């Protein structure tokens, strides 16, 4: 799949997923508080890189961030995010942006948050570098990517096989997976189980990395990486 095709297919996929399956705000806010800490969020300028439904951006704002921007490639997801922020009477800037061709002008941020996003772009490292340009000196980059394990080839093989099946099978398979797999997740971030399974099983593209690989990316920029969550799924799989 060529790069342009990855972007188009990913945008179309999340146009559907993030308009049909909405995370729970309270659950995600508890996740953010445990991951980063309310004191480290208060009065900060935050960028949510690949904001999807806006649940992360909304959480940062509700936990006291001074200013929050959410960017995403999917117009459907951004519409969901904007509507949710309006319902909650929150002032958040949501903009359509491509992480592989990113221009935010002279903006800079205390916190850049990109949770489970960059591995879907087709060029994770480029997306990482593009976001990092906008981090203030001494700022925090909160990043989650699919972890590479001995089971990765099975995960990828299953996903590629499922993508060959008729589209009408996706919802019942995701519903089943949400009971048998998602229900056993180590950490739930307020996401709907069926939507989470659909995202995991049917996303058009995803790449996997070891924590050591990611640590090297940060080291090249003189930054220290702290592994906050080794994995979020069963068998030490999914995000790190």
Q: Which residue has the tokens 């001995």?
A: 150
The per-residue DSSP string of 99-149 comes to: TTS---TT--EEEEEEES-GGGSS-HHHHHHHHHTTEEEEEEEEEE-BBP-
Task: State the Cα–Cα distance between residues 150 and 233, nearest whole angstrom.
Answer: 14
Check which CATH number belongs to the domain holding 143 and give it: 3.40.50.150
Give the range of the structural domain holding residue 111, as residue numbers without chain letter: 3-236
Q: What is the pLDDT along the chain (240 residues), one digit of tens a residue?
A: 666 689 899 999 998 888 888 778 888 899 899 999 999 999 999 999 999 999 999 999 999 999 999 999 999 999 999 999 999 999 999 999 999 999 999 999 999 999 999 999 999 999 999 999 999 999 999 999 999 988 899 989 999 999 999 999 999 999 888 877 654 454 455 566 788 888 889 999 999 999 999 999 999 999 999 887 765 554 454 443
Domains: count for the chain: 1
Neighbours of 191 (CB within 10 A): 23
């Amino acid at each position: 799949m060529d790069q342009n095709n990855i972007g188009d297919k990913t945008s179309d996929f999340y146009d559907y997923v993030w308009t049909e399956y909405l995370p729970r705000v309270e659950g995600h806010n508890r996740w953010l508080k445990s991951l980063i800490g309310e004191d480290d969020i208060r009065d900060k300028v935050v960028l949510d890189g690949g904001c999807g439904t806006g649940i992360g951006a909304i959480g940062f704002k509700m936990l006291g961030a001074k200013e929050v921007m959410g960017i995403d490639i999917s117009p459907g997801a951004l519409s969901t995010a904007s509507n949710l922020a309006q319902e909650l009477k929150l002032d958040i800037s949501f903009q359509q942006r491509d992480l592989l061709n990113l221009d935010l002008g002279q903006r800079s941020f205390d916190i850049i948050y990109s949770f489970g996003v960059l591995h879907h772009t087709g060029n994770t490292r480029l997306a990482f570098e593009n976001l990092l340009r906008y981090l203030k000196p001494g700022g925090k980059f909160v990043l989650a990517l699919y972890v590479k394990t001995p089971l990765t080839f099975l995960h990828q093989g299953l996903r590629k096989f499922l993508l060959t099946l008729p589209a009408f099978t996706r919802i019942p398979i995701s519903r089943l997976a949400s009971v048998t797999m998602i229900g056993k997740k180590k950490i739930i971030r307020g996401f709907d189980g069926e939507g989470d399974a659909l995202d995991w099983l049917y996303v058009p593209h995803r790449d996997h990395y070891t924590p050591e690989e990611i640590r090297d990316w940060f080291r090249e920029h003189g930054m220290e990486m702290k592994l906050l969550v080794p994995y979020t799924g069963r068998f030490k799989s999914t995000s790190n």
